[in-house]
Every structure is written in C-alpha cells, then in structure tokens.
Structure 1
C-alpha cells in the first residue's frame, strides 16, 4: 500500500561538522521573520500550518515526513496493517522528553486522549483522527496497537501531523485509552495557557521552548539530547512580520537570516544581490472560498427577496464564472501560484486527470444570476484573514471587485487570523476564505475535512462551516476513506471531487507556492507543506 505524509524534516548529526559550526556566527543564532505568526505553542490548539511548524521544533510525531511528503520513521520505527482495521506501531527506545522522562507507549495513549479532552481547542483539530479509534492497546512499553472503528488506509499519514505529549505533564494513574474514565488522568487536562507559558511545552523534538511572547518573538534553544542529533543552531528566534515589505527590508538590512514569503515581485531584486538566495517550492495548498449554502437567512447576505441566494447552485456558478483566476495569479500572486480547477493539483492521488477549466465569463455569470431571480444582484460580504495566506486580503478585494462587476455588491471584512478562525468555527460568515494543504498527498485530505456532512464520530466534515450537504457525496466519501484498495479509492475520490466541484459550494482560486529568501551563507530546503523549519536551514558549504 502506498504511504504518503505530512512533512517534518529532521537534520541528522551527520549533516553537521565542526567547521560549519565555527565558521559562521549565524550557526549560533538563527533569526527567522515569519509571514504568519503561530497562534499558540499548544500543538493541539488549532491545526494551522504556522502552529504545526512551530510544534515540529518542540514535539515529535510517531511518523515524520520529508520535504517531498515521503513517510519516514519518527517516534515509531515501523508500522504495519493487518489488511483490515488493526495497525501495529513499534516505538523508538531510548528517547527522553526535555524534562528527563523516558518516552513510551503510555505517552502516545495520553496524547490520543488529550485530543478528545481538549477544552481550549479552536476546532476539532486532530480529534477527527482519534475519534476513529475503537481500541488502543500497549502490549509493552515499545508497542502500540490501534484498532480503528472503520478501516483507515492512511493512518500513518494522519499520525504524521499529531505531536506527541508527555503524560508526565498531568497527574494520572494507569494510562489507558478509556475516554469515558478520563484515560486514567486524575488531575486537570492541559489548557492552551499551560503550553504558552512553557510549563507543559515538554517534547522530544530538536528544540526546547525558551520564551513565547505573542506579537513579539518566539525563542527556542537547542535540545542537546535530541534522539536525531543536535541541530546547528544554539538559538532560534522567530519574529512575526506580517507585511512583506518590512520582512524584505529586514533581510536586506541584516536583521533577519531567513524570511518566508517575500513578495514574488521582489525575487528579481533578491536574485540580483549576491548576498542572498531564494527558493520557490510548489505546494498543495488550495486557496478557496467556502459559501454558506444551508441557512435560509445568512448573516452577511442581503437579497431583495429576503432569501439566501447562495443556496442556489446557479448563483454559486455565477460567482465562480465572475472570477479571473489567471489574472489573480499573474497580478496579485506575481506568478508564484497556479490557477486551481480542483482541490488538489492535477496528477496527485484521487484527482481528476483532466479537470475542466473554470472559465472567466462575466456575461454568462450575469445570465445565470438573472435566471436565478437576481438580475440586479444582491449584497454580500466576503470575510477574510489579512495575515494568514499569501496576499489574502488583496485576493479577497479582487474577488469582491469581480463580483461587483456582475451585479453582486460585494464588500470585504478582513481581520487578523486570531479573530477570524474562531469566528469561522462558530459559522458566523456567509462567504469565508480558506486555505488547505493536503496532509496525506491525496484528494481525501480536503474531501474528508470540508464538504462532508459531519458524522457522529467527528471523523468527517470537521470544517464544514457552510452547512454543505450532498447525500450522494457523503455516500462516496464514506466509502473512499475506508477503502484499502488504492485503485478503488482513487476512483471514489475522483467521483467525490466532481460532485463537490459541480455543486460550487467551495470555489477554488489557486494553489500557493512557498517562497523563502535568505542570506547566501545559508541553504534552505523548500517544503511542499510550506513549513518554516529551523531544521530546514543549515550553513552553506
């Protein structure tokens, strides 16, 4: 069975040398300017790329991924499936947490339980994976056996994004996967604040948390006992700089060693200066808009008939036809993106081999609006982040202008992601921007998270904030996610992809590329998951 994965690049001790550590001052302190700041140190708080990237420094996962999304051993050295719904993981021995406690199977069980007992999380981050666990057994300290409620062909891939905590951070008796009995935990479960202040930020990763000051800086220090070998950087400082101009200015002035997502228009300037280097890496991140298609009265829609026009498929198609994706890629993304005609780049597992191009046709869009009963359009607000995705607020402004040209009077409400994501989780928006990078390298990553009707086990539809419901799609995706045969699963995913595209409740825009710029004495491995990792940076030879 093919295994795919979420990326966590670990640089081994073999990549280090005394000469590298002694020839560059930056081998002691690495300063990185972030385009989007992590919202918490708590690795289970909210499954966002900036949060996951920070967590990868402090915590480890059972399974890791390289920059090309290939699975590799992490805290688990091997895994196997019985051909049904039973997985056995062999755990790495001799690993210690930064508080000196030894890593073992009970820490993994505690972690699984915490995802289901996390009262301070923003959404059901990671619970969509562990909710499918019927039984978790630990025959010995280095063996973990997971029995899922339904077959899960991608379990190692899914676990490659789940950071492992130490059970020692809570009061407990014998740890067991018995959620009804609190899994053996006798004290309070960890809250996000316990991680942000460093108290419970105890992991087995390559770095330790030194300080976290929201809006100012995150400082890490090297973990000398890391099982994968010591890193070249004694200290790493992450500094949030959400505007591309100041990030570039700081790099040019020598204030930063690495910056993420410089404006594509500035790449020529960077390339012409021998003091700097850059790398562009295509990603699987789809940027799209999710529409409220369920409520009769949507909070940010005003139509002459008092109804919610977004419930009409003709209106949704008109909105898609109104958007010039190629112009957005060229003018706003400066060519560092690709127009999206489905929810994962063509050629990846489960995608349509020849998806129809989503045309730009304002005349056809106006005709559809008239057919739907809105010849004079209606009023609409597009809700967006202004500090999460590359050029997110500019993209939203452009889409609003395109919609206005066909008669939909569109306004933009852009806000910081710290406000936006909790509000979106409460379903407060009518049209909301989103971004999603495939954690598994399969179309199932998007299709199981966003469009399904949420199931009772919470393994599907965890981010269906627009209330989309399609019984035929639900039947297809439920079959796809538990299908162990690759060929059959691919066919089901393609069928599901077409159903969602045809309904238009999720309007795809483009796929982002990850961009990094850095001092020439460094080398940076670009990553398809867009993670900014200190482990991806090393002194150039």
Structure 2
C-alpha cells in the first residue's frame, strides 16, 4: 500500500474504535510469562549521540531511535513499518460524538522494566498515563517543578492549549478531553513525545531528589531495557523477556555503536562489526547494493530538506528579501550534486506522498538578475551579510549539508549576499536553532504521523515558533487556516484549507524547500524482520537473525 493510500485509510470515525477492539483481541494481553529470548546480539552503527532518553523533550530521530522505540510504548502505536494507527498500551478506545472526549481502555498485565536502578511493585495502569500527560500539561505538577524542561512537540501540535483534562476513570480507564476537536489527535498520540512513563519510578526519583535522571536512566514498557550509555560511544540494551506482545523481541542484546562518520559506518557494516547502519552516503549506494553479504531495502522518503529563514532577524523579515534569496538558489544543481540521483527538487512544504499536497505549486525560476533587483527594491542594492548554518550530521533529507551550504553560499554571492557558514555539534545545533540564534539554516523533517498538520502546523504554525518552526514565522492568515483544518474532520474540507495554506506559504517564503529524497537502509544479509519506518527512526521491533 502506498503512503498516500495508507494515510487515507486512517479516519477520524468510530470505525477506528471497532478496528482497535478487533485488533486488541488478536494482540491479547500478554506478558504473563517471561519469554526465552534467542541468544543473539545485534549491533547498530548509528550516526549521532542522543541528547537524552526522555522522548517528550526532543524532536529528532536520534532520540526517538535510542529511546522512544526501544524503551517505551504509547497508548496507540503506528503499525511496524507503516502509518496505520493500532492499539498499544490502550487495547481499545472510544470517541465522543463531538470529537472532543477520548476514552482509552488500558491493557492489563503490562510490566515496567526491572533495572539496577528501579524495581517496579505494580503493573502499568491509569496512574502512569495521567502522570505522563499531566507532566507536560501542568507547569505546577510536582515532577515538572523539580525537573523543569520544555516539551516542544506537545507545544508545536497545540496540545499545550487544546488538551483540557486528563482523568483516571478507574485503574484501567483514562479519559482525555480536548477544548476543540482535533482530527490528527489519535495519530499524534502514537508519536514519540507521548511515550508512557512510570509514575512509580517518577515518585522514586522525586523522593531521592533525582528527577533529572528520568532523562538519563529511562524506564518504560518497551521491547528493550536500557542497560548503559557511554557518551559518544555505545548504548546497550537488553531484550525484554516480559514484553506484552509476541514476536517483537528477537534479540537478547541490542547495541547502538555511535559512529558519526558515514564512511566508517559503511566499512563497519561490510566487516560485520555492525549488522545495521543508517544514512549511507549517496556515493556508496551502488557498492553497498552490489555487496553479496548485504541487503538494501529502500523506499520513497516521507521527508523534506529545506533552508529556513529566521524571519525575526533583519533583513529576513522582509518578504522581498526572502524571495530574492529563494530565486537565487540553483536547486536542480544542488540536488544533482548533493543527492546524486536519490532526490528530487521540492517546491512545497510537504512531500508529494502526503495527502493534501498541492501539486500545482511552482518554484520561482532561478534568476539571479531578478533576485538582485528584488534586493534593491527591498533597500539592499549592495546586498548584506548573514550566517548560514549547515547541519553536522547526515540525513536522508540532506546527505551532505556542508556541500549544500557551500553551493548556496556561492549562489548568493552572485547577488551580493555574503554568507558565513556555521555549524555546531548536532544537539547544540538544534538547541541554538530552537533559541533562534541562526539567520538561515539547513534543516529538514521526516513526517511523524501522516497528517498534513504535522507539516504545516509543526514547521510553520504560530504555536511552534519556539519549537520546530525554525523560521520563527507566525503569519495569521496562514495560521488561521491550519487551526481551522485541525478542528475539521472532513478530509475534503481539510484538503481545501491546506491547499490555500500552501499557496500562502509559497507567496511568503518562510523557508525554501530543497529536496525530497529516497531512503536506503543497508543491513547484513542474515538480518530478518527489519522494516523501514516511514517516519524516520530506526526500529528493531521484530528484528532478528536467520
């Protein structure tokens, strides 16, 4: 099934509830007896160090791979390798007729991890769900006050203002009430930020005065149990023998070997020092595919690489300046050099596989002379200087940010704009970008839940200006459309609203879309069960060896 067709299959109707109830019977409430795990260790050559292990604090696939999809579960989950929402820690749910009240019936017999630093005395229940969401919702919640951090996705998606209440109905029933109906809400609950934490573990940390350790020593219900982290070197996990769903855990040990250099990752994979790697360099795709000891699944990426303009910095607050910078970039040349056949020029703020994508959007022609005239009109006939940030890591949406930055720098120099290329370590890069320190920056996004709001709201909405809206762009005519679309359950009406929003985006140019890319996933021939996650993280659910 294509991404487009599978996304259209996810409807905001009672049919989801029926499907959930049916699926829950099939899944069952397992975990009564510990499973005998195969004595197998898999090593994953990952590209970067996680900033922490508390998924609610982060927005990148590094933390999602290292925590959300190893240690944790959510009330609902995306099917492995797909976009359909299915039962998770909630075995079924119901939605009120006005779309505002969600009642979740929780799975029985699910165990939290037993570790060297925490030994649970009870199974997962409603208290854990209430704690997870109250911590994000209420700034006066005791744990939040002891460990005051930001929850960017919770804010970016508008939940900080739209989630009205979270209530425990009984030990295995919880109710979430929204102020306004939200079509993407169920899909949002399957995202990493909504990973369910242990309230009992949080109480222990609070009593010990160590609330911050929730980000260093995680405890969840997921398929792998956190063992240790050696910064910038390795993360070690043990397979969870008590996992509640059959067939998911097929390894006794999982090791993330942090290897920032993609060429080194390639060599380690070929030498069987690791069995899975991520983000192969485009130049190595052919040799990896030709290696008889490897396999190379691939698919069209649900992603977008782009150049964000900080619209709070002068002169980037001027739309003519942004239009000039946009039309001065030779995007076809960049895509050819950087993606080497594994990418296509992008013109919209979402990929073509996202429903409601406006195929009628067209880029302004590459025209340095017209760009220079626009700068003169805006009051900058001699150009100006700015910083251009280049990502220090490789991603499918941007496999070589340094080269891309150098090509943009050269293009802009032709119109008198002098860019100084700047970079930082990945965690610092994202932190400083959230703070708005950049002028222009290369960044990208892989969709998280299959809903258009995940692109237009998260990357461009007013509620996301302190999060993933790296353009810091809050434009009311645009924002009004996405808010209205979020509160509308009819997909045809939502598509009309999102089409209008995309047209405004193209007129205002808060960022320049660069490319959509293919995703390649190299792994050893004897690895089985691996599926590419359309939303970007690397997952090991159901992964084992022949």
TM-score (norm 1): 0.85
SS of 1:281's equivalent in the other structure is strand
Out of 271-280 and 527-536, give the one that drifted further.
527-536
Aligned to 2:391: 385
The C-alpha deviation readout for 1:221-240, integer Å capped at 9, x for no partner, is 00000001361111011011
The C-alpha deviation readout for 1:75-120, integer Å capped at 9, x for no partner, is 1122232232111222111111113431111110100022245445
Shift of 1:122: 5.2
**Compared with structure 1, are the counterparts of its residues 171 and 518 closer, same or farther at alpha carbon in structure 2 (3 Å cutoff)?**
closer
Aligned to 2:95: 81
SS of 2:104's equivalent in the other structure is strand
Decide which of 46, 70, 75 is 2:84's aligned counterpart: 70
Structure 2 alignment gaps of length 5 or more: 1-7, 13-26, 29-35, 115-119
User: Contact 1:292 / 1:430 at 8 angstroms: preserved in 2?
Assistant: yes
Aligned to 2:130: 109
SS of 2:423's equivalent in the other structure is strand
Shift of 1:363: 2.9
Shift of 1:438: 1.9
* Pair 1:157 & 2:187 matched: yes
Shift of 1:42: 1.8
**Compared with structure 1, are the counterparts of its residues 191 and 505 closer, same or farther at alpha carbon in structure 2 (3 Å cutoff)?**
farther
* Pair 1:425 & 2:443 matched: no
Give distance in 1, aligned partners of 2:358 and 2:210: 43
SS of 1:396's equivalent in the other structure is helix
User: Contact 2:41 / 2:254 at 8 angstroms: preserved in 1?
Assistant: yes
Aligned to 1:398: 407
**Compared with structure 1, are the counterparts of its residues 72 and 123 closer, same or farther at alpha carbon in structure 2 (3 Å cutoff)?**
closer
SS of 2:169's equivalent in the other structure is strand
Give distance in 2, aligned partners of 1:120 and 1:425: 17
Shift of 1:425: 1.8
Give distance in 2, aligned partners of 1:63 and 1:146: 13
* Pair 1:146 & 2:176 matched: yes
Decide which of 258, 261, 265 is 1:243's aligned counterpart: 261
Out of 379-388 and 266-275, give the one that drifted further.
379-388
The C-alpha deviation readout for 1:45-80, integer Å capped at 9, x for no partner, is 212111112221101011111322111111112223
**Compared with structure 1, are the counterparts of its residues 223 and 407 closer, same or farther at alpha carbon in structure 2 (3 Å cutoff)?**
same
* Pair 1:37 & 2:11 matched: no
User: Contact 1:396 / 1:412 at 8 angstroms: preserved in 2?
Assistant: yes
Aligned to 1:508: 513
Aligned to 1:274: 292
Aligned to 2:23: none
* Pair 1:533 & 2:539 matched: yes
Give distance in 2, aligned partners of 1:440 and 1:518: 25
**Compared with structure 1, are the counterparts of its residues 382 and 188 closer, same or farther at alpha carbon in structure 2 (3 Å cutoff)?**
farther
**Compared with structure 1, are the counterparts of its residues 465 and 529 closer, same or farther at alpha carbon in structure 2 (3 Å cutoff)?**
closer
Shift of 1:332: 1.0
Shift of 1:434: 2.4
Give distance in 1, aligned partners of 2:209 and 2:366: 51
Give distance in 1, aligned partners of 2:502 and 2:135: 33
Give distance in 2, aligned partners of 1:254 and 1:286: 32
Shift of 1:141: 1.8
**Compared with structure 1, are the counterparts of its residues 354 and 406 closer, same or farther at alpha carbon in structure 2 (3 Å cutoff)?**
same
TM-score (norm 2): 0.84
SS of 2:131's equivalent in the other structure is helix
Task: Give the number of equivalent residue pairs.
Answer: 493
SS of 1:145's equivalent in the other structure is strand
Shift of 1:123: 5.2
**Compared with structure 1, are the counterparts of its residues 136 and 323 closer, same or farther at alpha carbon in structure 2 (3 Å cutoff)?**
same
Q: How does 1:58-457 map to 2 (within 5 A)?
A: 58-66=71-79, 67-84=81-98, 85-99=100-114, 100=120, 101-116=122-137, 117=139, 118=144, 119=147, 121=149, 124-127=152-155, 128-161=158-191, 162-171=194-203, 187=207, 191-196=211-216, 198=217, 201-229=218-246, 231-294=249-312, 298=313, 308-387=314-393, 389=395, 390-454=399-463
User: Contact 1:385 / 1:420 at 8 angstroms: preserved in 2?
Assistant: yes
Indicate the RMSD between aligned Cα atoms, in angstroms: 2.6
Out of 416-425 and 354-363, give the one that drifted further.
354-363
Give distance in 2, aligned partners of 1:191 and 1:365: 52
Give distance in 2, aligned partners of 1:282 and 1:516: 12
Shift of 1:190: 6.6
Structure 1 alignment gaps of length 5 or more: 6-11, 14-19, 173-184, 299-307
User: Contact 2:128 / 2:199 at 8 angstroms: preserved in 1?
Assistant: yes
Give distance in 2, aligned partners of 1:537 and 1:121: 34
User: Contact 1:221 / 1:235 at 8 angstroms: preserved in 2?
Assistant: yes
Give distance in 2, aligned partners of 1:347 and 1:95: 36
**Compared with structure 1, are the counterparts of its residues 417 and 29 closer, same or farther at alpha carbon in structure 2 (3 Å cutoff)?**
same
* Pair 1:484 & 2:470 matched: no
Shift of 1:209: 0.3
Shift of 1:189: 8.6
